[in-house]
Amino acid sequence: MCGIVGFTGMQEAAPILLDGLKKLEYRGYDSAGIAVMSGKTISVNKVRGRIANLCEKTKDGTSVPGPTGIGHTRWATHGAPTEENAHPHLSNDGRFAVVHNGIIENYLTLREELLRDGYQFQSETDTEVIVHLLELYYKGNVRDALLKTANRLRGSYALGVICSDEPGKIYAVREASPLILGVGIGENYFASDVTALVSHTRNVIYLDDGEFAELSGMSIRIFDCSGTEIRKKTTRILWDVQAAEKGGYEHFMLKEIMEQPGAVRAAIAPRIKNGKVIFEELGAFLPALPDIRKIIITACGSAYYAGCAGRYALEQLCGIPVEVELASELRYLNPLVDGHTLLIVISQSGETADTIAALKECKSRGAKTLAIVNVVGSTVAKLADCTVYTWAGPEIAVATTKGYTTQIAVLYLLAICFADHLNRLGKDEAAMLDTLQALPRRIQQAIDMNPAIPELAKKYHENHAFFFIGRNTDYAVALEGSLKMKEISYLHAEAYAAGELKHGTIALIDEHQPVIALCCNPFIMEKTLSNIVEVKSRGAEVLALTFRDNQKILPVADDLLFIPKVDALFSAVIEIVPLQLLAYYVAKENGCDIDKPKNLAKSVTVE
Ligand code: BG6
């Protein structure tokens, strides 16, 4: 996720662009840049790192004259966070500058075509194909060039464009990434969200997918995807700036829970092409797969639990034994790894010390290493033989949500990709791909099916302990559900393999220990049902997570959370969502600091 801004009017643009980028910095902050037009001259300034570096380079914008411009703060997805990869990107003829938020899923095909047509690329980004397409299609009319360019793009994009042939104008194009216009007096704006606008104007126009706008200081014209001019209503923003940064949500954690359908889509959609799972990143890696005799997944915290959830698909589809090890343990285990071991390292930040150490230890012993990381260019990404990014966008809340679900989504994709490469998929491939492509919608359904979670939180928030129980894939999700509850509400919670309760821990079960029972795996549903009966007979209140038509569980449980039915091999990213929301609302009831829980860090870069 990145942040884009645009301004045109009578004032100097650069300071306004920089101010807007500062307000959007939470959307991405590994590099930044502005392009400002003075007369027919476009000047571009870009930096690696935070907006502060850009302010320093441009003397807070005072060294860059001009009343029109666009700006960008980057969260790298394609290409490391460098100055070359920072936006804005310029066309070869210097006539166009573009900033982009989103992912161009067909950028490799477009890049090859443009290279064949003689266009020179300055960066590794997906975005740069846009500015060369504009040059290709420009015959004197910017709107026509924008339309033709947009028709070639697949994926998500919020674009800001300026053209030196049209001083005083900025263009905004929206497809599946947020883009809002700010209506001023003698000046107009665009931005990725209202955060960057509210200090200048509270009158905004929300563009919808397929629409684009031409803005000058005195006018805003909006067009639909056929190029027909349309009228849209102006909305008055009543949020304060701080609330706007969270998209109107009270906490970043809730915002990031709600972002999961989009984040999981960003992780999955670009990697399913023509009925196959295609990882551009794995090209040189796959031939070594037939020699792999063991897969070890290693990580910390929720990333470890993501490994626990994804291992089922990996093991069952690939037929390769999979072990999941805590990195803080693996690094000192004297691990039995060699050239026939594949180590999959999972890390949102890519900077967790234990995870880095485990990666180095196993790599030194000859293991093949594949990283699943969110932060582009992070240490884990650089150390691994091969890295697959989750494209979750920046995650601000310390307790991860979309980081976790996108990690599992990538594991699902890898399982199918590896199994296909090992000729083990057979006829189920199409059905599995349909299931994966539907996951974003299913996650949204899991959110929509549970409006009563805030009420459930009021009922359970004073309990001092919870048990999360489940079997198989449900148990893996119970581990993360339990951690979420502990991390942000500070209430004790323990995840237990449901079949293991009777070997000791059931001694703790009574009316004071609510049991959250995950019953989403039909294969072992009956067994979990009997565990629920066991704990109920000892006085426990049971909150069950299951399907709406599960007639056997409904009469037994005291309270219910629902998810839509999905193959249990791929349901973890759905099951966890109601549990994330439960933990969130319990913590809220208890007045906890949800985005910055006590004693925790977003990434523990020390041992
Ligand atoms: C913890 C975070 O510090 O580190 C967790 O609070 C996270 O949310 C864990 O799961 C591992 O971090 P990473 O960045 O390696 O996934």
In whole angstroms, what is the distance from residue 539 CA to residue 510 CA?
5
What are 418's two structure tokens? Answer: 């590896």
DSSP 510: S
Res 239: pLDDT: 65
Give the SS3 label for residue 569: helix
Give the SS3 label for residue 83: coil
Report the separation in Å between the CA atom of 124 and the middle of ligand 1, taken as the mean of its atom positions.
28
Task: Quickly name the fold that domain 247-448 has.
Answer: Rossmann fold (3.40.50)
Report the separation in Å between the CA atom of 351 and the middle of ligand 1, taken as the mean of its atom positions.
9
Ligand 1, atom 6, residue with closest C-alpha: 602
- Check if the beta carbon of residue 442 is closer than 8 Å to that of residue 490: no
Q: Which residues line ligand 1 at a C-beta cut-off of 6 Å?
A: 300-303, 347-349, 352, 355, 398-400, 600-604
In whole angstroms, what is the distance from residue 558 CA to residue 541 CA?
6
Peptide bond before residue 564 is cis, with ω within 30 degrees of 0 = no
Task: Quickly name the fold that domain 3-238 has.
Answer: Glutamine Phosphoribosylpyrophosphate, subunit 1, domain 1 (3.60.20)
The CA-atom distances, in angstroms, between 153 and each of 96, 148, 179, 340 are 17, 9, 17, 40
More confident residue, 124 or 238: 124
Task: Give the residue-averaged pLDDT of 86-114.
Answer: 96
pLDDT in tens, 522-556: 999 999 999 999 999 999 999 999 999 998 998 89
Sheet holding 322-326, edge to edge: 322-326, 294-299, 341-347, 368-373, 386-389
Geometric angle at alpha carbon 297, from 294 and 302, rounded to 5°: 160
What are 291's two structure tokens? Answer: 């020699």
Supply φ then ψ for residue 207, to 5 degrees: -70, 150
Task: Quickly name the fold that domain 453-589 has.
Answer: Rossmann fold (3.40.50)
Beta strand pairing call for 559-562 and 368-373: unpaired
Report the separation in Å between the CA atom of 166 and the middle of ligand 1, taken as the mean of its atom positions.
47
Closest CA to 181 of 233, 121, 127: 233
Report the separation in Å between the CA atom of 65 and the middle of ligand 1, taken as the mean of its atom positions.
43
Q: Catalytic residue numbers?
A: 2, 602
Question: Do 453-589 and 3-238 have the same topology in CATH?
Answer: no
Q: 151: which residues sit within 8 A by CB, 6+ positions away?
A: none
Task: Give the residue-averaged pLDDT of 378-390.
Answer: 93
What are 150's two structure tokens? Answer: 């947009």
Under the banding of pLDDT at 50, 70 and 90, the label for residue 78 is confident
Beta strand pairing call for 212-215 and 341-347: unpaired
pLDDT in tens, 26-69: 778 899 999 999 999 999 999 999 999 999 999 999 999 999 99
pLDDT in tens, 470-521: 999 999 999 999 999 999 999 999 999 999 998 988 999 999 899 999 999 9
**Dihedral of alpha carbons 239, 244, 248, 251, sign:** negative
The pLDDT of residue 607 is above 80: no
Which atom of ligand 1 has the smallest separation from the CA of 398? Answer: 6
Regarding pTM above 0.85, the answer is no
pLDDT in tens, 285-302: 899 999 999 999 999 999
Report the separation in Å between the CA atom of 597 and the middle of ligand 1, taken as the mean of its atom positions.
13
Give the SS3 label for residue 478: helix
Domain ranges for the chain: 3-238, 247-448, 453-589
Res 241: pLDDT: 66
In whole angstroms, what is the distance from residue 576 CA to residue 578 CA?
6
Q: 336: which residues sit within 8 A by CB, 6+ positions away?
A: none
Q: 66: which residues sit within 8 A by CB, 6+ positions away?
A: 12, 13, 14, 36, 37, 38, 39, 41, 43
Q: What is the DSSP string of 345-361?
A: EEESSS--HHHHHHHHH
Ligand 1, atom 12, residue with closest C-alpha: 603
The pLDDT of residue 413 is above 90: yes
Task: Give the residue-averaged pLDDT of 188-203.
Answer: 92
Sheet holding 229-230, edge to edge: 89-90, 96-104, 155-163, 170-175, 212-215, 220-223, 229-230
Under the banding of pLDDT at 50, 70 and 90, the label for residue 75 is confident
pLDDT in tens, 298-343: 999 999 999 999 999 999 999 999 999 999 999 999 999 999 999 9
Under the banding of pLDDT at 50, 70 and 90, the label for residue 604 is confident
Which atom of ligand 1 has the smallest separation from the CA of 349? Answer: 14
Cα-Cα-Cα-Cα torsion 389, 393, 399, 403, nearest 10 degrees, comes to -30
Task: Give the residue-averaged pLDDT of 191-215.
Answer: 92
Beta strand pairing call for 294-299 and 322-326: parallel
Res 244: pLDDT: 61
Which secondary-structure segment (H or E) carries 479? helix 473-489
Closest CA to 573 of 499, 482, 503, 477: 477
Which atom of ligand 1 has the smallest separation from the CA of 400? Answer: 8
Type of residue numbered 409: A
The pLDDT of residue 151 is above 80: yes
Cα-Cα-Cα-Cα torsion 171, 174, 178, 184, nearest 10 degrees, comes to 30
